[in-house]
């Protein structure tokens, strides 16, 4: 799942948020796996043309 939005205007934030889930049932005993990943990035464009992440 991914959610992103915000603004390119100076001093207004933009965001990008990701989440994923992986699960597998292994053939042999103790060979199953689960993985959860979450990530969030926020960006503020500054007046001088630089960006703060």
Q: What is the pLDDT of residues 5-48, one digit of tens each?
A: 988 777 788 999 999 999 999 888 889 999 999 999 999 888 88
The answer to whether residue 4 scores a pLDDT higher than 80 is: yes
Predicted TM-score of the model (pTM): 0.65
Instruction: Please spell the DSSP secondary structure of 1-53, one letter per residue.
Output: -EEEEE--STT-EEEEEEEEEEEE--SSTT--EEEEEEEEEEEEE-TTS-EE-
User: What pLDDT score was predicted for residue 21?
Assistant: 96
Domain boundaries, the chain: 2-48
């Amino acid at each position: 799942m991914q959610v992103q939005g915000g603004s390119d205007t100076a001093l207004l934030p933009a965001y990008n948020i990701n989440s994923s889930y992986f699960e597998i049932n292994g053939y042999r005993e103790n060979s199953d796996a689960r993985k959860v990943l979450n990530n969030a990035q926020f960006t503020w464009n500054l007046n001088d043309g630089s960006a703060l992440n």
